[in-house]
């Protein structure tokens, strides 16, 4: 996870604003139980004489060091335009009191409500508040919105989800998301155990640090316990009752992000004033995101804030419900600096501009209208999926899928005839299939690719379903070997142009490692060709309003804070195949560098290595290892954390190991290992 700010020739650095500002460091917000949350506040200098609305970002990623660079370009910008912009570390993170024992707890929401109460009592506050956040901050904004605090008038949620089970880093389609389940847990395992800053909290930092080290749990244990969509995941999932959110929501994501699907559900279910924006971007704010075009997102955010927090008519209510970037077809690359395309406008979602068209799967072909009979056998190839790219790209080199010809020989592929005319897709493709399995537990992975006339195959969407979850994620049912079932798999949303002469490919497999944890035994599926086995595509017809939408300004931000680079970052992704043992190993290494911040002298850095291994004929050989090294210090005060996390399974259980070692000035002061065995539950 990288929180640096990408340089761009198109980005303007603003140093003068309509309102002069000041920064309040190390502000303590008291909680009713005696705990304190640490905040930084940027606001106009004259805000006590001329009160302003507030904007709250509420996340656990350490405002004084880890997000200080990104915070510096955004919060002063809002303050300079007449807002109090407030950055709070949630309980148990950064300099805030306590221990962060899991994500999205009720305690986290309750604390946020108290923060909103506190803001309303400040002399610089008008009492109107908006929340903004990316990823965790986007999640928390939605969840707090559902609590209906009277001061919270609107939110901007980026790269987030309304469904913690079906659409996050833990499970996808009822399968355990092995690419991210342990990685994300290992990330927060290390992040949450970092110490407070002695210059801020005093000598109590050491007792607090030892408490965090001892009692920060490996969250993966709790997440793997809940393999079904039970009450644990329903908590914090606003899709349980969208009517709880009664304020306007601006939902933002990008086609390379792992959280694009939620934008469509939110627009369909939230108040009519809500809007959506989807660009070509990875998991990042659109003013600094890759690939280009980045946009003047902070200006768009200000228009939103002015509309809902200041009552200024900025014209947004006359603009499209959804503005999205239809990407031009591109040959496959593991990193793009730019994705050409065009902005399109839809005034409602579902949109009258989008209609479904179906292609039937038969005899290796995608056919329009012809529904042949017969069947196809789909065998297991355990290493299928290594060229999928990462689940949620952050814009790092190597994040994206490789040429899918490297995967197609490990799956069963159905290919359309060359398109006679250019087509644009917007929304969710859906595969409907009639099939049977030779095992009680099985999954089906679906890849949708754009095949160029020269043969290259670019992955444009994918989906997966644990077939025991075919009727319910809450109440799975075993498969009866040989029995026919009709299933439906919704693939990830896309906004994609398909040029005339290109072909569509649908690839099917009962494996998708390392995205989905393998079934306990090798699986052979049978696909039955006929009227029930077809791909539905969301074809969009261009609209006259498309030409006038998406007229965004160039990006502009406040000045980024100064830093000295101690160690440059580096990213490598290496896949190896041992021909003798038929074992495959992907090593994904990210050195996110080390730096010293000029504002407070804090020095911090991180390194992460994730290893995914499997043998080609043995699903029980699947193994994930995640390693972290985090450093933070100042002058003579230096700390370091090292963690190692591992996940394996046999036919009946998952096995989890997590180890943490802490150092102060290179002296080991803590070491602990957690081990857990958890039964498999239809996974």
* pLDDT at residue 4 in the model: 54
Q: What is the mean pLDDT of residues 141-155?
A: 98
Report the candidate in 191, 237, 236, 178 with the shortest Cα–Cα distance to residue 218.
191
Express each pLDDT in 496-538 by its tens digit. 999 999 999 999 999 999 999 999 999 999 999 999 999 999 9
Report the candidate in 594, 607, 671 with the shortest Cα–Cα distance to residue 638.
594
Contact 394, 580 (CB under 8 A): no
Report the candidate in 450, 364, 338 with the shortest Cα–Cα distance to residue 405.
450
- Average pLDDT over all residues of the chain: 97
- Neighbour count for residue 369 (Cβ, 10 Å): 7
∠ at Cα 106 (101, 110), nearest 5°? 115
d(CA 513, CA 178): 8
The percent of residues in the chain predicted with pLDDT above 90, rounded, is: 96
* pLDDT at residue 6 in the model: 57
Q: Is the pLDDT of residue 7 over 60?
A: no
* pLDDT at residue 575 in the model: 98
* pLDDT at residue 609 in the model: 98
- Higher-scoring residue by pLDDT: 380, 2: 380
The pTM score is 0.97
* pLDDT at residue 373 in the model: 81
d(CA 205, CA 401): 43
* pLDDT at residue 190 in the model: 98
Beta pairing, strands 36-44 & 570-578: unpaired
Express each pLDDT in 314-360 by its tens digit. 999 999 999 999 999 999 999 999 999 999 999 999 999 999 999 99
Express each pLDDT in 15-40 by its tens digit. 999 999 999 999 999 999 999 999 99
Q: What is the mean pLDDT of residues 53-58?
A: 98
d(CA 595, CA 462): 38
Residue 115 neighbours by CB under 8 Å, 6+ apart: 29, 37, 56, 58, 86, 88
639 confidence band (pLDDT: 50, 70, 90): very high
Q: Is the pLDDT of residue 491 over 70?
A: yes
90: alpha, beta or left? (left if phi > 0; alpha if psi -120 to 50): beta
* pLDDT at residue 369 in the model: 79
* pLDDT at residue 5 in the model: 59
- Neighbour count for residue 64 (Cβ, 10 Å): 25
Q: Is the pLDDT of residue 370 over 70?
A: no
Q: Is the pLDDT of residue 545 over 70?
A: yes
Q: Is the pLDDT of residue 621 over 90?
A: yes
Cα dihedral across residues 135, 137, 141, 144: positive or negative: positive
9 confidence band (pLDDT: 50, 70, 90): low
Q: What is the mean pLDDT of residues 177-195?
A: 98
d(CA 581, CA 367): 40
Contact 126, 43 (CB under 8 A): no
Cis omega (within 30 of 0) on the bond before 166?
no
Q: Which two tokens stand for residue 193?
A: 């155990």
Q: CA 315 → CA 263, 294, 303, 308, distances in Å?
A: 21, 22, 8, 12
Express each pLDDT in 568-580 by its tens digit. 999 999 999 999 9
Cα 229 to chain centroid distance, Å, stands at 19
Task: Identify each DSSP E strand in 116-192 by its residue range.
Answer: 125-134, 152-158, 171-172, 175-176
Longest dimension (CA), the chain: 78
Q: What is the mean pLDDT of residues 535-550?
A: 94
272 confidence band (pLDDT: 50, 70, 90): confident
Angle, helices 106-120 vs 136-145, to 10°: value is 70
d(CA 645, CA 145): 34
* pLDDT at residue 455 in the model: 98
Helix (H) or strand (E) holding 41: strand 36-44
1 confidence band (pLDDT: 50, 70, 90): low
Q: Helix (H, G, I), strand (E, B), or coil: what is residue 632?
A: strand
d(CA 529, CA 343): 38
Q: What is the mean pLDDT of residues 194-205?
A: 96
Burial class (CB in 10 A: 0-12, 13-18, 19+), 290: buried
d(CA 152, CA 144): 9
Q: Which two tokens stand for residue 455?
A: 């043969």
* pLDDT at residue 587 in the model: 98
379 confidence band (pLDDT: 50, 70, 90): very high
Q: Is the pLDDT of residue 2 over 70?
A: no
* pLDDT at residue 493 in the model: 98
10 confidence band (pLDDT: 50, 70, 90): confident
DSSP-derived secondary structure for 346-359: ESSSS-TTEEEEEE
């Amino acid at each position: 996870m990288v929180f640096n700010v990408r340089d761009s020739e198109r980005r303007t650095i603003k140093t003068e604003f309509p309102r002069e500002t000041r920064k309040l460091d190390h502000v303590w917000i008291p909680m009713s139980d005696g705990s304190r949350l640490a905040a930084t506040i940027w606001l106009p200098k004259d805000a006590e004489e001329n009160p302003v609305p507030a904007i709250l970002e509420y996340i656990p990623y350490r405002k004084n060091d880890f997000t200080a660079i990104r915070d510096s370009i955004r919060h002063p910008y809002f303050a300079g335009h007449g807002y109090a912009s407030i950055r709070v570390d949630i309980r148990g993170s950064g300099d805030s009191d306590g221990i962060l024992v899991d994500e999205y707890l009720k305690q986290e929401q309750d604390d946020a409500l108290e923060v909103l109460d506190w803001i309303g009592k400040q002399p610089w506050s008008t009492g109107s508040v908006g929340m903004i956040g990316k990823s965790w901050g986007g999640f928390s904004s939605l969840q707090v919105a559902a609590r209906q605090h009277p001061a919270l008038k609107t939110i901007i949620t980026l790269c987030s989800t309304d469904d913690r089970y079906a659409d996050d880093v833990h499970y996808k389609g009822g399968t355990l998301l092995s690419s991210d389940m342990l990685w994300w847990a290992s990330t927060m395992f290390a992040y949450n155990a970092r110490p407070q800053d002695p210059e801020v909290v005093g000598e109590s930092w050491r007792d607090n640090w030892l408490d965090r080290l001892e009692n920060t749990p490996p969250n993966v244990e709790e997440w793997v316990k809940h393999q079904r969509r039970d009450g644990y995941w329903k908590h914090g999932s606003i899709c349980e009752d969208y009517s709880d959110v009664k304020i306007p929501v601006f939902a933002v994501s990008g086609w390379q992000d792992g959280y694009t699907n939620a934008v469509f559900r939110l627009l369909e279910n939230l108040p009519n004033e809500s809007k959506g924006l989807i660009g070509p971007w990875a998991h990042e704010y659109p003013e600094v995101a890759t690939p280009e075009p980045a946009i003047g997102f902070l200006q768009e955010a200000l228009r939103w804030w002015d509309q809902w927090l200041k009552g200024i008519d900025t014209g947004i209510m006359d603009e499209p419900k959804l503005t999205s970037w239809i990407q031009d077809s591109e040959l496959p690359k593991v990193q793009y600096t730019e994705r050409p395309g065009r902005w399109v406008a839809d005034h409602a979602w579902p949109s009258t501009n989008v209609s479904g068209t179906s292609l039937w799967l038969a005899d290796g072909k995608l056919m329009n209208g012809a529904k042949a009979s017969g069947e196809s056998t789909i065998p297991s190839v355990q290493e299928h999926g290594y060229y999928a790219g990462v689940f949620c790209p952050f814009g790092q080199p190597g994040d994206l899928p490789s040429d899918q010809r490297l995967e197609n020989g490990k799956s069963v592929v159905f290919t359309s005839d060359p398109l006679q005319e250019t087509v644009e897709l917007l929304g969710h493709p859906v595969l409907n299939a009639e099939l049977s399995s030779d095992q009680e537990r099985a999954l089906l992975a679906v890849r949708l690719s754009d095949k160029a006339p020269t043969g290259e195959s670019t992955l444009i969407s994918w989906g997966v379903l644990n077939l025991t979850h075919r009727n319910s994620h809450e109440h799975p049912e075993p498969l009866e070997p040989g029995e026919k079932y009709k299933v439906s798999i919704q693939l990830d949303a896309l906004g994609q142009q398909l040029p005339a002469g290109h072909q569509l490919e649908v690839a099917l497999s009962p494996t998708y490692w390392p995205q989905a944890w393998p079934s306990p035994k090798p699986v052979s599926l049978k696909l039955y060709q006929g009227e029930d086995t077809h791909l539905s595509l969301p074809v969009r017809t261009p609209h006259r309003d498309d030409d006038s939408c998406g007229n965004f300004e160039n990006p502009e931000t406040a000045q980024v804070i100064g830093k000295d680079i101690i160690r440059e970052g580096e990213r490598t992704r290496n896949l190896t195949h041992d021909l003798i043992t038929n074992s495959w190993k992907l090593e994904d290494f990210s050195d996110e560098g080390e730096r010293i911040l000029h504002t407070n002298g804090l020095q911090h850095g991180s390194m992460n290595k994730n290893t995914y291994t499997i043998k080609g004929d043995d699903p029980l050989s699947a193994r994930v290892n995640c390693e972290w090294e985090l450093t933070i210090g100042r002058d003579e005060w230096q700390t370091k954390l090292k963690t190692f996390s591992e996940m394996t399974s046999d036919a009946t259980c998952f096995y989890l190991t997590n180890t943490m070692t802490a150092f102060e000035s290179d002296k080991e002061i803590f070491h602990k290992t957690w081990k857990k065995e958890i039964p498999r539950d239809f996974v």
